[in-house]
Structures are given as structure tokens and as C-alpha cells.
Amino acid sequence: MIPPWDNEAMHRHARRLAESHRRWTGRDLLPLESDGRELARKLFAAPFVLVSHGTEADPVLNYGNATALKLWEMTWEELTQTPSRFTAEAPNREERASLLAEVTQNGFIANYAGVRISKTGRRFRIAQATVWNLIGDDDGPAGQAATFSQWEFL
């Protein structure tokens, strides 16, 4: 079975995640690899959460690394069909929408904290998250991404 990160589209997406993160924050997610396949493999296996969504009116998650899949208790197929707003409980969705609007305006935010919910209803608080805009091949918007390595179950 081919891992979900091992195709040309995900190799390009891994580079977009890493290069957009560097552009906005000045920091690397991981050292950039010249080989897109190797970068995609390392990001998928990273010990931190990395997720992204597209530019749809109701954005759908289009990437989650292994740590994210485990935390949200989803398969790749489930995650990549989930509107990103469903990663937060209904009462927290307005706060999440405000956060994403701020990211859209400023390019990124750091040190975000909030409560999220897994597919099975398990609640967890994330801390020190960075959320940033993804930059497309044409330098236009290509979605948003988030990374964090601190969470606690509630």
C-alpha cells in the first residue's frame, strides 16, 4: 500500500507547507530537503501536528500528518473529507473563524491556544500553535496550515 504522502501532489504540497511557513515566520518546519519526496516523508512522520485546508468557501482539510491523524482519531480518507471547522466544537467555531480571519489578514499568528475535538468526541486543548497562509504557485492564496506540538486531553 502506498502511503498517503507518497505521490507527486503531496510532494509539492509538502514543499508549499514548508516554504510558506518559512516565508511568513522566518523559521523552518524541518530543514528543507531538495527532494520533495523526502520532505513529504519527514513531515508526515514528524512528532508535531501539521494540518492544512484549502480555499473552499467551507474549507476542507487536505493534509494531516501521522501525528494529526492519531490526535483527531481519523484515517487519511476521513481527515481529507472533513471541513476544517469540524476540528473544533460548535461553541468554539466562532473563535476559530476569528483566528483564521486574522491569519488571512496578517499572514500568520503564533502562540495560538484553543480547544479541539477528535472524531470520537475526545476534547483536547492545543497550545503554542502557529497558523499561516499557504502561498500558491501563482503567489496567490492556497489555503492555511497549522502546526503545534503541545496538547493535553480534557
| Confidence (pLDDT) at 91 | 66
Write out the chain's pLDDT in tens, 154 residues: 789 999 999 999 999 999 999 999 999 999 877 789 999 999 999 999 999 999 999 999 999 999 999 999 999 999 999 999 999 877 677 777 787 788 888 999 998 999 999 999 999 999 999 999 999 989 999 999 999 999 999 9
| Confidence (pLDDT) at 64 | 98
Continuous segment of H or E residues that includes residue 112: strand 108-117
The residue extents of the domains of the chain are 8-153
Cβ–Cβ under 8 Å, residues 6 and 44 = no
Give the CA distances from residue 72 to residues 6, 16, 54, 136, in Å, rounded to whole numbers and listed in that order: 21, 23, 18, 27
| CATH of the domain spanning 8-153 | 3.30.450.20
Continuous segment of H or E residues that includes residue 68: helix 66-72
